[in-house]
Amino acid sequence: MTGSPVTARIHAVHPVLAANDVMASVNFYSRLGFHLSFQDDALKPRYATVRRDGIELHLQWASVDQWSHPVDRPACRFTVSDVDEIYREFVASGGIGESSEEGSPWRAPADTPWGTREFHLRDPGQNSLQFYRVL
């Protein structure tokens, strides 16, 4: 790092997550409390944006042969005020089910060895979503 002053600020990050079925991903995120703010086509979207609590995620169509699960799948970490409460919200809304929790040792809220309480799930595009707070 250099000692030069920082003059510009970064205000947000908007991850672009791959989805082989953008509408299925939009529906999944709506069960997590996200609201659709953009989609490029009403019937068969190939790009969409969802928002919740100031968080914006972009969903872009990608053929399954463009990536290799689980190697090429990103993980998004969300800091939350109450891990257990948001977990219960997601279960009640149907956002968390057996298929969304596959492959993670943190399927339900638990305290981690690295000092957080968290749980993980996967969206329909197999992107990892990790919800946590520091203990």
Domain that holds residue 93: 16-64+73-134
Query: Is 11 part of any domain?
Result: no
Note whether residue 4 is domain-resident: no
Which pTM does this prediction carry? 0.86
10 within a domain of the structure (yes/no): no
Buried b (16+ CB within 10 A) or exposed e, 44-57: ebeebbbbeeeeeb
What are the residues whose beta carbons fall under 8 Å from the beta carbon of 115, sequence distance 6 or more? 134, 135
Cβ-contact 106, 121 below 8 angstroms: no
| Average pLDDT of the residues in 68-72 | 62
Q: How confident is the model at residue 112 (pLDDT cuts 50, 70, 90)?
A: very high
In a domain, 31, yes or no: yes
Mean pLDDT score, 96-124: 85
pLDDT surpasses 70 at 98: no
Predicted local confidence at residue 6, as pLDDT: 76
Decide if pLDDT at 135 tops 80. Answer: yes
**The domain that contains 60 carries what CATH number?**
3.10.180.10
Number of folded domains that form the chain: 1
- Write out the two tokens for 127: 């992107």
Q: Is residue 116 part of a domain?
A: yes
Q: What mean pLDDT comes out for the span 18-44?
A: 96
Is residue 23 domain-resident?
yes
pLDDT at residue 30 tops 80: yes
